[in-house]
């Protein structure tokens, strides 16, 4: 079916009008977004002039003076920087400590740890949960001892 020349011209004009409306509304939306952003954000220059602060920070993960504790689990070295955590981990039985270290530090899942020790996944999961509870108790003991030492 062929459309008349007049109908084709009408469709063209209607499409142009539609495009103009869409572009106009998108411009309004963009203007609203800019106003909203301007109302909520503060310039960094303004903050720097109001009060001096360091605009960046340095993490001090590897600047500690304490010597990190190294645990060896299945031939892999696991470095623990936190002295209290290392002490609490060293007070755990060897198998529980190894399960925690393999899961949280090396990144093994329960199935892989179970294969290493010849146990099923649920047994390793249970041992990990028991080890976490024991680690939490040791952590609290050490924290309490440090607070007691600080008061004297």
Please give the full DSSP string across 45-104, using - where no structure is assigned: HHHHHHS---S-----SS--SSPPEEEEETTEEEEE--HHHHHHHHTS-HHHHHHHIIII
User: What's the confidence (pLDDT) of residue 49?
Assistant: 72
87 within domain boundaries: yes
Same domain, 123 and 87: yes
User: What's the confidence (pLDDT) of residue 152?
Assistant: 64
Same domain, 46 and 73: no
Same domain, 89 and 31: no
Query: What percent of the chain has pLDDT above 70?
Result: 87
125 within domain boundaries: yes
The domain in which residue 121 lies consists of 69-151
Same domain, 76 and 34: no
Say how far apart CA 8 and CA 91 lie, in whole Å: 86
Flag whether pLDDT at 109 surpasses 80: yes
pTM passes above 0.75:
no
User: What's the confidence (pLDDT) of residue 144?
Assistant: 85
């Amino acid at each position: 079916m062929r459309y008349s020349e007049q109908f084709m011209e009408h469709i063209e004009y209607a499409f142009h009008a539609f495009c103009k409306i869409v572009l106009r509304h998108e411009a309004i939306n963009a203007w609203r977004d800019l106003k909203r952003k301007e109302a909520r954000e503060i310039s960094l220059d303004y903050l720097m002039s109001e009060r001096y602060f360091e605009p960046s920070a340095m993490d001090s993960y590897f600047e500690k003076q304490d010597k990190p504790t190294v645990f060896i689990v299945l031939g892999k070295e696991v470095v623990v920087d936190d002295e209290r955590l290392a002490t609490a981990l060293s007070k755990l039985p060897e198998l529980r400590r190894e399960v925690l270290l393999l899961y949280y530090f090396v990144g093994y899942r329960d199935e892989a740890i179970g294969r290493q020790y010849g146990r099923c996944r649920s047994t390793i999961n249970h041992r990990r949960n028991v080890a976490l509870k024991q680690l939490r108790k040791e952590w609290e003991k050490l924290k309490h001892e440090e607070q007691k030492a600080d008061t004297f």
